[in-house]
Every structure is written in structure tokens, then in C-alpha cells.
Chains A and B, each alone.
Chain A
Amino acid sequence: MMLADVLLVAAKDLRIEWRSRVTVSQVLPFALLVLVLFGFALDANRPVLDAATGGLFWVAVMFVSIVAVQRSTSIETTDGARRALLLAGVEPAAVFLGKAAAVALQLLAVEVVMVGGVIVLYDASIESIGLLVATCLVATVGIAAAGTLLGALVAGVRARETVLPILLLPVLAPVLIGATRAFDDALGTVAVDGWAWLGLLAGFGAINIVLGALAYGVLLEET
């Protein structure tokens, strides 16, 4: 029952993305633009750019996640669908998980292109593809969960576009640190044990999934 609702909501959001192409036509170019701008800012100093590749990648992902979460939230707020979801009686936790899954898949798609971007633009080389993929997966789940929760939190607020980054970015700080370190290992720029960081990223994701599933109903009901 619950799983069916999760899939229903996720499929709905992904289908909307497939039709509207907002991620492909706006979010993705934005992500690449951020990478290019970092390149301009640091390319005069090639070693710095090399050393900072992992960090720049994940800072770019942070920016992208704000845009993606805002889009995911506005789907439900534009024409009162939030209210209709309550009327339909869908389990709020299922709505949360479905929307978070859709955001995660879209972010992952953007990240795939961005990895290509850092290889081409920053001349990065991948030493451990397994670690790279695992980091993207685990970190993105956490980002999508935290983003979907906070997106619902600000959904009823008039100033939501400006409040969301203030709330989301500090919460994502451990993801930025952890995923950057893991990437440093995967790209071979700093000698650290990247796999150790995955545990921390997984812990972050688990906390946000549990909290989101618990709190989404209250937020949907109340705001």
C-alpha cells in the first residue's frame, strides 16, 4: 500500500519533469554554469583548482539542490495540489518519500553530467569509480530528503524562495564536508579514506528520511 503510493508520487513528479524538462533545460545548464564560473575564478591557479575539484563539485550540487527542491515544492503549491493530497488521503510519509526519490533521481542525473564537466573542465581523473558512484548515491539521498522536508516546511510561506536556502544550506554542511572528502579520495587529490565518510553520509541520510517521514504529515496538515 505504502510502497504503491511512494511510487505513484515519484512517478508523477518524474513524469512532470519529463514533460516540462525544467531540470534538463534549466537546472542542468545552471549546474554547468556554476562549474564554469568556479573555473574562471580559480583557473589562473591550476594546482588550486585541482585540489579544490571535489569541493567545487559539491558546492555546485548544493546550489542545484536548492533549485531542484524549489521546483519540486512549487509543483504542489501552484494550484493547491497540497490540499488535494490531503483530501485524497495519501499517507504523508509516502508523499515525502516519493517526492524525495524524484528529487534524488533528478539530482543524480545532473551529477552524472557534472562529473563529465569536471573531467573536461577541471582535468580531473577518477581513481576509484566505485567510491565516486557510492558517494553520489548516498550523499544525494540525504540532500533530497533534507531538501524535501524543508521544502514542505516553507511551502506555505510567502517568502519561501529566500527562506529555503537559509534553512537548507547549514543543514547540508556535513554533506558538503563528507562528500567533498570522499570525492578527494575518489579523484585522488587528497590521501584520505573516502569510504569512511560514507558512513557519516548514510547517517545523515537516515536521520533526514526518518524525520521527514514523521514530520511531513504535520507540515502538510498545518501549513
Chain B
Amino acid sequence: MTAIAPASNHTGSRTTRLLGAAVLLGLVALILLGFFGAPEDDEQRDAVRMIFIHVPSAIFTYVAFVTTAIGSVMWLLRRSIWWDTVAGAAAEIGLLFCGLTLFTGSVWGRPTWNTYWDWGDVRLVTTLILFLMMIGYLSVRSLGGDEGATATRAAVIGVLAAAILPIVNRSVEWWENNTLHQKSTLTDGDLENLTLFTLFVGFAVWGLFFAWSLIHRFRITWLERELRAIDLDRALDERRAERDDV
């Protein structure tokens, strides 16, 4: 057995510490700007402040989801363990963002649409179905057993979900045309300058958080894998030693 001395007992590095610090500073700035800087909306009053969390969460849900889909394809094409690890890490963070999107969406919906949930809304229902697919994806990842088999199963689901999602979106769109969802807030052009600025701070913070957590999650999974590789050496030794039992 080779003695493996861990270089450190955490997955941090200069990059992640910088990222983490930026996320914290950004969050403080976002809270200050969101609550005190940005003006309230003429119609929605204070409820409009939900936009600073809701929209970045939604955007990065889909960024994470696309990352998972790309990682899945790369695993299937090249058996790239690196990409499989990225896919799994992105899916976990994506699920978090997705849950946050749905939660802030319903909290926002109550005062503005007078309902927590609207079944006729395209983006809402599509995002919910994506949420359910991601839960399925992660539950398959957690099943254990052969690593290659698990990666392949997960990758097939990742690709299938990516292929199906446009159809889900289209089906919900046709289902009910009378959507409550405001058309893309960003392109409306009637947002106050400071509101727009705060929203972009939100994007930046969420983006940095995505990168920070993705790197950490990736490193944890990677270390777990290396640990199992060490386990395999030990398991091989133990296995070979069985011959002496006979």
C-alpha cells in the first residue's frame, strides 16, 4: 500500500477562494441594491424585487441543465470521466437553482397574479417538468453499483431530457395561450436603470456562485473517485489474499 497523504483537507484553492469572496461581496451588494437601491414598481410595488433572485435562478437553471446535457453527450461519445463528473455536479446545482426558481416564482406570483401556481403558464410548467426530470436524473446517479453503468444511465437520461424539453415547452405553450407570465422582462425596456443594474448584479452573483459550487462539487466527486481507486488497490490485495484461506 502506498501512503496517500492528502495535500489538504478541503477542496479550496486560490481560484475558489477568490470566487467565494466575490460571491459573498456580490450578495451583500445585491441585498443592499435590491432592497434599498432599486425603486419599487408602479404596479407590483415591492414584489418586483423578487426579480433579482427569480430571473438569475431561472437563467442558471438552464445553464446548468445545458451543461449536464453536454457532459452527458461527451460521456457517451468519449467515455470522458471528466465530463461525466461535470454533468453530475451541474445537475445538482441546477436542481437547487430550479427549486429556487419555482419557489420564488410562486411567492412572486401570489401578490402579482393572485395565485401561487398557474397551470397555464408555459415557463412555469416547463420548469416544473424539468425539475422532476432532474430529480429522476439524480436519483439514477445515486443508485450506486458499477460506475460506468451509472454514468451511462445518467447520460442517456440527460440527453433524453434535453431532447424532450423543447417538446414539453411547445406542448405547454399550445396548451393554454392565455399566459399570465410577463413577457421577457429584460427586453420590455421600461425597467428603471437602477433596477436593470441590480438585476445584472444578480446575474453576476449567480454566475459566480454557479462557477464556485461547480468547481467544489467537481473536486469532491473527483476525490471520491480517487479514493475508490485506492480502495480498488486494497480490494485487489484483499482479493488475492483470499487464496491463502483455502
Asked if the two chains touch in their complex, CB atoms less than 8 Å apart, one says yes
- Segment touching A, from B33-41, B56-64, B129-137, B199-207: B129-137
Which residues of chain A (106-139) have a CB below 8 Å from chain B?
none
Chain A interface: which of B89-97, B144-152, B222-230? B144-152
Cross-chain contact A170 with B145 (CB below 8 angstroms): no
Q: Shortest Cβ distance from B117 into chain A, in angstroms?
A: 16
Residues of A within 8 A of B27 (CB): none
On whether the beta carbons of A196 and B133 are closer than 8 Å, the reply is no
Given contacts A159-B143, A170-B132, are A219 and B171 in contact (CB under 8 A)? Answer: no
Q: Which of A163, A196, A207, A219 contacts B156 (CB 8 A)?
A: A219
Q: Give chain B's interface secondary structure class.
A: helix
- How far apart are A43's CB and chain B's nearest CB, in angstroms? 23
Interface residues contributed by chain B, number (CB under 8 Å): 29
From A163, A167, A181, B175 is in contact (CB under 8 Å) with A181
Contact present for A207 and B164 (CB under 8 Å)? yes
Q: Are A163 and B140 in contact (CB under 8 A)?
A: yes
Q: What DSSP secondary structure best describes chain A's contact surface?
A: helix
CB pair A223 B136 closer than 8 Å: no
Q: A197-B174, A222-B149 are in contact. Are A171 and B156 (CB under 8 A)?
A: no
Given contacts A197-B174, A200-B170, contact A218 B156 (CB under 8 A): yes
Q: Is the CB–CB distance between B174 and A171 below 8 Å?
A: no
Q: Is B160 an interface residue when CB atoms closer than 8 A count as contact?
A: yes
Interface segment among A28-36, A80-88, A97-105, A149-157: the answer is A149-157
Question: Chain B residues near A219 (CB, 8 Å)?
Answer: 152-153, 156
Q: Are A204 and B167 in contact (CB under 8 A)?
A: yes
Query: Is A215 in the interface zone, CB < 8 Å from B?
Result: yes
**Cα separation A218 to B151 with both chains bound (whole Å):** 11
**Closest Cβ neighbor of B143 among chain A residues:** A157
Q: Is B159 an interface residue (CB 8 A)?
A: yes
- The 8 Å CB contact of B135, one of A157, A159, A166, A207, is A166
- Check if A174 sits within 8 Å of B157, measured CB to CB: no
| B161 proximal to A (CB < 8 A) | yes
The answer for the CA separation of A146 and B148 in the assembled complex, in Å, is: 22
Q: In the assembled complex, how far is the CB of residue B208 from the closest CB belonging to chain A, in whole angstroms?
A: 30
B43 to chain A minimum Cβ distance, whole angstroms, is 31
Q: Which of B98-144 contact A (CB under 8 A)?
A: 129, 132-133, 135-136, 139-140, 143
In the bound complex, what is the Cα–Cα distance between A150 and B140 (angstroms)? 11
A54 within 8 A of B: no
A42 at the interface (CB under 8 A from B): no
Question: Which A residue's beta carbon lies closest to that of B151?
Answer: A222
The answer to whether B167 and A174 touch across the interface, beta carbons within 8 angstroms, is yes
B68 to chain A, nearest CB (A): 15
Residue of B nearest to A203 (CB): B167
Is there contact, CB below 8 Å, between A163 and B152? no
Q: Which residues of B contact A159 (CB under 8 A)?
A: 143
State A219–B135 Cα separation when bound (angstroms). Answer: 20
Which are the 5 A-B pairs with shortest beta-carbon distances?
A170-B132, A174-B171, A167-B136, A177-B171, A223-B149
B: which residues have CB within 8 A of A? Answer: 76, 129, 132-133, 135-136, 139-140, 143, 145-146, 148-149, 152-153, 156-157, 159-161, 163-164, 167-168, 170-172, 174-175
